[in-house]
Chains A and B, each alone.
Chain A
Amino acid sequence: MLLEAALAVTRLSTGSRELDEILEGGIPENSINIIMGAPGSGKTTLAEEFIFCNATDELRPVLYLTTLSEPLDKVIRYLQEFQFFDAAKMGTKVRYEAFGSVLAANGIGALFPKLKDTIKTLSPKIIVIDSFKAIHDLARSPQEMRLMLHEVAGLLAAYNTTVLLVGEYRHEDIATYPEFAVADGIIELARNSLGTRDERYLRVFKLRGSSYRQGFHAFDITERGLQVYPRLVSPAQAGSYKRSEDRVPSGVPGLDAMLDGGFCTGSATLLAGPTGSGKTTMAIQFILEGLRLGEPCLLVNFQENPTQLAYQLNQIAGTLNGDGRRRLELQYYSAVELSIDRIVVNIFQTLRRNGIRRVVIDALGDLATAASDPTRMHGYLYALVQHFAVLGVSSMLTLETDPPVMASDETQGRLSHMTDNIVFLELWMRDRIVGRTLRIAKARSIAHDLQRREMKIGDRGLRIVKARK
């Protein structure tokens, strides 16, 4: 009996591991998908990366039909710039064909017999039609287009092939163009100008019979193809992970006594204060203490490059020994040049790759500069802090409060909910004398010292002068 058959949806990789992650494994096999976006948004690159990744069988090649947008020669010329391009597959496993002139001469009715003939003679594993939207311009009426699409969709659904319809569609087209009703999947690519830089985003609108990661995901186009940065979401087990009772020494003499032994492992600490109050110094001490204990640490900074940072670290620590240097990952980002998506995803990937135990992000205000909107910033931070907690990574996030970069009451309130501990570093002036104090405003699950304590900065960093006994 030949009765074994399963409904399990098999997936085809897009060629991008990160995009596959967003699509919960890739594009479902035997589906009809629309790749939409403005000219230059990366649609053709996505389609080409997909076909070269999946073109593995000469008996089941991929067919790439161009219609009336870019000339075929131009498409192929630029295709060769990408690393995924494989000349050996051209004409055998990947077949490009210009169909625009046939459509122009015979009308849109020529598409159905072309596809039927292709299926019968080529057994294509994948069919790409680029641009499908351009076919609308040749239709004599919407009815003609709808009837043609009905036939084409019926044919493509009957056969074991995966289809990409690429087009310069706009949002309003979704409600009016019939191909959106028959599509099993819709992926939109967009490009937004933000100050001096452009941000590229993709999002999945629809993926029939499958879950997917919703929202906007940043991406770049590089020589490797699409470099996608999946939107960081809170970990699935955030509500149920076991919180550690262990303590993490702060590296600041006197502070651990105020914290009844130190911060809780895996907790997030917001370190807030004005310029010159000692935030970066204290954050560095937190990192150095981790290194001293043999913990891999990550220091993310937006203002000083790794050379400047290493100098600062050496000033406080003396010269870092080889082991310490190896365990320390310094990351410098220009918040003006990079989007928050790329920064946060890089941080998260480093965390997992290097088994990081302590993280410092210095400073949140700079990270906010990299965010196109505050909601996005808070969403990312919340997810990141949740991941820190689940992974047992202790973090310290600095925030400049004077000038108040993120100082709306609402913003401060949201940040305080997000972190387990809040430490204020303050400057005071009396009779031309300036001093520094430290106050713990919040320390979740810790019987902490509520008193404002005086502190000093010396060669080896900050120390609490009047510590609790």
Chain B
Amino acid sequence: MKKETQYQRRNWLKQAQGFGLLALAFCVNPLSAFAKKADADEAIQKITGGADVKEGKVTLTIPPLVENGNLVVLKVSVDSPMTANDYVKTIHIIAEGNPLPNIFTVYLTPRSGTANITTRVRLADSQTVWAIAQMSNGSFWKASAETLVTLSACTELV
């Protein structure tokens, strides 16, 4: 009889431990990251309206290792002749790990001459950043860049 209860207690302990691990896994890890990824996908979906996005034409340059996420130089260029009937209409930058995935959108015209944009952005976390370009014929092209951020933006207190 005594043995029985002991066995049950041990069993219960094992179960509790299992739950504990599970709870820990939920808190610490990827769930929040997945949610952000979904946000980014949704943002991309909103831009393209479900259209096919092909890899290529776009070049996105960010430093692979960033010390401070508050000011990261981001360079995006799209390979296009920029003539009246073949030019880049818009470029969107989407960051998977930011609280708001959209970073910026630029609207270009044939009078832009080239599709080269440089700006400074905030990155909340080590993550993949996407650049999506829409051409004048309606097609979408994308490129991505991965970066490692040591000191994150947005989280510090004032």
* Chains A and B belong together in one complex: no
